[in-house]
């Protein structure tokens, strides 16, 4: 399941199986990461203090699993990122805010594309000759005489490309944030659970 390790013994394997059962509510990936880290710590400690003492120092598998599960439920992902993943809380919030703004831009641009397809004469980039204001969107047919259409045939493909680009950028930013938050949370859980008692 986790691969045999050079210093792995039946006692260590039983301990890791018990720990894995105790971590049953975590995802398989998180559980495997914890098992691999625990195996590494046990191997390191076995070399210096022996197998039985290494297991005694880490504590019973059920207690260790309980520590991981308790830490998982009380620690939000964004609080673990500051030290462990190289993201400060400000950069984390900036990435989240930026991705939300990009999602909003993608939705607005996609809506403009759909509106342009439905009513091509009313949706464009408009210049109000009376006030000098420029706006993007649907114009009221009653005021069309005062408006100058600044967009041509390029408006729809450019808006569609920008919507796709904004959506993909937002998705990549959120994946980046999630990946770093998850890895930082796993590290924080691991080190808090394996800290000396």
Q: Over 70: is that where the pLDDT of 4 sits? A: no
Report pLDDT digits (tens) over 55-83. Answer: 888 888 888 888 888 777 665 544 444 44
Write the DSSP string, 117-161: HH-TTTEEEEEETTT--EEEEEPPGGGGGGEEE---TTHHHHHHH
Average pLDDT over residues 21-48: 86
Residues 70, 102, single domain; the answer is no
Residues 70, 104, single domain; the answer is no
pLDDT of residue 51: 85
Structural domain contains residue 53 = yes
Residues 24, 52, single domain; the answer is yes
The count of other CB atoms within 10 Å of the CB of residue 9 is: 12
Residues 169, 109, single domain; the answer is yes
Structural domain contains residue 139 = yes
Structural domain contains residue 79 = no
Boundary (domain end) residue, out of 44, 74, 104: 74
The total number of structural domains that make up the chain: 2
Residues 66, 94, single domain; the answer is no
Report pLDDT digits (tens) over 170-193. Answer: 999 888 888 777 766 666 655 555
Residues spanned by the domain of 36:
10-74
Average pLDDT over residues 103-109: 92
Structural domain contains residue 41 = yes
Boundary (domain end) residue, out of 25, 41, 74: 74
Residues 19, 69, single domain; the answer is yes
């Amino acid at each position: 399941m986790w691969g045999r390790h050079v210093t792995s013994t039946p006692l260590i394997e039983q301990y890791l199986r018990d720990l894995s059962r105790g971590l049953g509510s975590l995802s398989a990936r998180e559980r495997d990461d914890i098992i691999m880290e625990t195996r590494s710590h046990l191997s390191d400690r076995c070399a210096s203090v022996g197998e039985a003492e290494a297991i005694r120092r880490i504590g019973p598998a059920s207690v260790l699993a309980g520590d991981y599960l308790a830490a998982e439920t009380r620690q939000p992902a964004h609080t673990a990122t500051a030290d462990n993943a190289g993201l400060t809380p400000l950069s984390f919030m900036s990435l989240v805010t930026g991705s939300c703004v990009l999602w909003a831009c993608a939705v607005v641009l996609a809506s403009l594309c759909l509106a342009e397809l439905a009513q091509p004469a009313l949706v464009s980039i408009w210049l109000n000759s009376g006030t000098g204001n420029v706006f993007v969107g649907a114009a009221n047919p009653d005021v069309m005489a005062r408006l100058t259409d600044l967009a041509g045939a390029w408006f729809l493909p450019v808006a569609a490309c920008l919507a796709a680009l904004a959506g993909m950028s937002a998705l990549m930013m959120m994946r980046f944030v999630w990946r770093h938050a998850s890895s930082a949370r796993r590290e924080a859980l691991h080190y808090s659970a394996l800290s000396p008692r």
